[in-house]
Amino acid sequence: MGNLFNLDSGFSKFMNRVSDLFLLNILWVICSIPIITIGASTTALYSVNLNLLSENEGHITKAFFKAFKENFKKSTAIWLIVLLISTILVVNLIFWLKCGLSIAYIALPFIFFTLFIFLLVTPYIFPVLSQTNSSILSIIKYCFFISIKALPYSLLITLFGLSVLFATFYFPIVFLFMLLLGVAIHSYMVSRIFLIVYNKNNNHFEITEGLNYISTDLFLALNNTTINIIGNQESNKWKLDITITDRYDFTDFKEIDEYCDNNIIKGLFGSTANNMAMISVASGVMHEYNVTIKFKIDWNDENE
């Protein structure tokens, strides 16, 4: 009996995890009340659950609100996109099922197929979002990629989610359970499956980030650029497709000290060239244009 309540016993660990999930569930419910914040609270929910599963345990409340704050803008935007697409699909499905038109036999297969893909991809979005700083488009593309590549797991997650959703709406006791503990448990189980899928498919990634050159020579040629890196692992080698984009627009007047970097000649040359180009663009002598640089790199451990 004494071993049952030992801090290292299986029972104590189980009860600690249940209490963590209970607190996490309450935090999710409270932060989801405004509706528009459901995306941010769901991302924070998955962030904490993935940390728990990775044994990176810490203060639940602090970790939740840290993830909530860091991912608020992007997760809210994605949540609104998911909500919009869900509404469009449901409205179209109801309309074509009830309209009685012969063209419904053509429209309905397309709607069902779109709904099927949507239900496969959506469960991955918030777990992936909680683990990356990539753009929204990159996240959606990656979620589509892993949902198709790991189709059996994707179907399992989708069916599990639909079953929970059905039970929540049709059985009041389940609804009460979801408010107290069920959402966090569902997220915890999905996180377990997600880690299996992620670990099997982490041989692909895509990153899009802003890139600024401050004091290097490239500062005179490229500035405020966007870099996109797509990586695919083959054996022990990574194949990287890198794209750098910039726009030569010369919209701002530059002072010498902005280019100086302890070199007055460099500062004078840089500011003069920029300001002459700005005047040329304003007067129509020179036009703005886009710059795209693409190259490939094969990377392995020997490159480090």
Q: Which residue has the higher pLDDT, 157 or 259?
A: 157
Q: Quick check: 273 pLDDT over 60?
A: yes
pLDDT tens-place string over residues 31-74: 999 999 999 999 999 999 998 888 766 789 999 999 999 999 99
Answer whether residue 5 shows pLDDT above 60: no
Given a cut of 90, whether residue 227 has pLDDT beyond it is: no
State residue 3's pLDDT score.
Answer: 57
**The two structure tokens encoding residue 291:** 């710059």
Nearest to 241 by CA among 208, 216, 212, 267: 208
For position 27, what pLDDT does the model report?
95
Confidence of residue 12 (pLDDT cuts 50, 70, 90): confident
Q: How far apart are CA 112 and CA 108, in angstroms?
A: 6
* Mean pLDDT computed over 109-137: 92
| The model's pTM | 0.68
pLDDT over threshold 90, residue 79? yes
How do beta strands 204-211 and 237-248 pair?
Answer: unpaired
pLDDT at 169 over 70: yes
Residues 9-27: what's their mean pLDDT?
A: 85
Q: What local confidence, expressed as pLDDT, does residue 59 receive? A: 85
Q: Determine contact, residues 288/281, Cβ cutoff 8 Å.
A: yes
**Alpha-carbon separation of residue 6 from 1, 10, 12, 17, 56 (angstroms):** 9, 9, 7, 15, 22
| Block residue for tokens 């709607």 | 111
